[in-house]
Amino acid sequence: MAVAVPVTVPYARYSIRGAHWFLARVLAELLQRSGLTKDKIEGLCVSSFTLAPDTAVGLTQHLGFTLRWLDHIPMGGASGVVALRRAARAVQCGDADIVACIAGDTNHTDSFRLNTATFSQFARDAVYPYGSGGPNASFAFLTAHYMRSYGAEAEDFGKLCVAQRANALKFPYALMKKALTLAEYLSARPIADPLRLFDCVMPCAGAEGFLVLRRERAEELDLAYARVLATIERHNAFPDDPVQYRGGWVLDCDELYRQAGIPPGDIDFVEAYDDYPVITMMQLEDLGFCRKGEGPDFVRRHSFTVDGSFPLNTSGGQLSVGQAGAAGGFLGLVEAIRQVTGQALGGAVADARIGMASGFGMINYDRGLCSGAAILARS
């Protein structure tokens, strides 16, 4: 299977456009860059938080697509990986020739509050009434617990944020344009202890997308593509853990590398889901780069910049680019396609042959429920 045509609709802090506009722009860009006409897109996979009252169905009429395969994936930060899995199966089974996977959201001044307030039944009943801190509060709990359990320090999370900002300064679409020092990180205002300002993603508007098709088809169309070596997903893993200190990746990590036929050491770069740095640290552990509890030490041993040791979130990640709603779940995967197909817009990882993108999403109540990961390789 192949993934091709990584597309980003430039991010904006706020937009007066609707989600439909962003999703239309990403589709237009996919067609323009691939040279395909609308009728050649047989399948569409959509993720968006702000498309309501529409779903993917409404989008087909809104944008004039006639499709033989359609999916709508409301999995937030896991949407990119899961969309890839769904689309790849469809193409593999002949349900569609080419599937466009798109994610995008608008952001009005009150969108984030509205989305948080009504995010899920459990969140509305049992989280939002407690201070209405949104994901900041949820990740503050996970971070505080993780720090206490595994000895992580603020400087460790700061190191990840600072490295990603360095990567972002080279990436044209990043909303954060200023360099960040560890001192600035540590002295930033507290948001929800132990989280500080630069631990938290900035909600924004934007869209991401890519095409899924067979390798032969990509070659016919003369598209630079990445091979899909492996994908996993898991939902509501470890429900009996009192607090989340590990993600569903733990259950599927071995399977991921078995599918890919490579050990973790062969991965040249990682695009981890990073709305808060604690979850990045958990992914480093749960995806086999170090053992549980060794995350802090692993962070201390690497630089994470594009040109350093263990390149991580090479476009700057959501923490420096911005979180465009469901597109946040696509950002890492789209960047991974760019890196392994030699299309990096910012810093390029030297000789990037194999990359990993992972996703994490949906704090339904006290923890993220969806996890996924994909390994892509240069064609």
Partner 1 sequence: MTAPLLRPKRKNPVLRTRLPTLPPAIRSRVALGLTAAAARGSFELQVCRDCATVQYPPREACCACLSDRLDWRVQNGAGELISETLLRHSQELFFRERVPWRLGMVRLDCGPTVIAYLHGDCPAAPARMRIRACLDRAGQAVLVALPEKETPNMADDRQLREMTCDPKFRKVLVTDGKTAAGQAVVEAVAAAGADLIWVGHAEPWKKLPGFDRLKAIPQVALLPLDVTNSRSVKEIAGEIGGRVDILINTADHHRNFGIASRHGVETARAEMETNYLALLRLAQEFAPAMRARGADGQSSAVAWVNLLSIFALSNFPPHGTYSASKAAALSLAQCLRAEMRASGVRVVNVFPGPIDDEWNQQLLPPKLAPAALAAAIVKALQDGIEDVYPGDVAQEWLARWRDNPKALERELAAGAG
Q: Rule CB under 8 A: which residues touch partner 1?
A: 112-113, 116-118, 121-122, 124-134, 136-137, 140-142, 144-145, 148, 189-195, 239, 242-243, 365-366
Nearest approach in angstroms of CB 199 to partner 1 is 12
Nearest approach in angstroms of CB 130 to partner 1 is 5
Nearest approach in angstroms of CB 371 to partner 1 is 19
Rounded distance between C-alpha atoms, residue 125 and residue 42, angstroms = 40
Nearest approach in angstroms of CB 41 to partner 1 is 37
Which residues, at least 6 apart from 299, have a Cβ–Cβ distance to it below 8 Å?
A: 156, 159, 160, 281, 284
- Residue 275, phi then psi, degrees to nearest 5: -70, -25
Tokens coding 103: 């994610």
Q: Pick between residue 139 and residue 304 the one whose CB is nearest to partner 1.
A: 139
Q: Pick between residue 148 and residue 258 the one whose CB is nearest to partner 1.
A: 148
In the chain, at which residue ranges do the beta strands (DSSP E only) sit?
2-12, 43-47, 69-72, 98-105, 190-192, 195-196, 205-213, 225-235, 269-271, 354-363, 368-378
Q: Pick between residue 288 and residue 322 the one whose CB is nearest to partner 1.
A: 322
Nearest approach in angstroms of CB 151 to partner 1 is 15
Rounded distance between C-alpha atoms, residue 201 and residue 315, angstroms = 14
Q: Pick between residue 188 and residue 224 the one whose CB is nearest to partner 1.
A: 188
Rounded distance between C-alpha atoms, residue 254 and residue 249, angstroms = 9
Q: Beta-carbon neighbour count of residue 217 at 10 Å?
A: 18
Nearest approach in angstroms of CB 259 to partner 1 is 31
Q: Pick between residue 21 and residue 141 the one whose CB is nearest to partner 1.
A: 141
Q: Pick between residue 71 and residue 105 the one whose CB is nearest to partner 1.
A: 105
Q: Pick between residue 248 and residue 359 the one whose CB is nearest to partner 1.
A: 248
Express the helix, strand and coil content of the chain in percent, nearest 5 each. 40, 20, 40
Nearest approach in angstroms of CB 221 to partner 1 is 45
Closest C-alpha among 172, 338, 343 to residue 271:
338
- DSSP states of 151-218: ---HHHHHHHHHHHHHHHTT-TT-S--S---HHHHHHSPEEETTEEGGGSPPB-EEEEEEEEE-HHHH
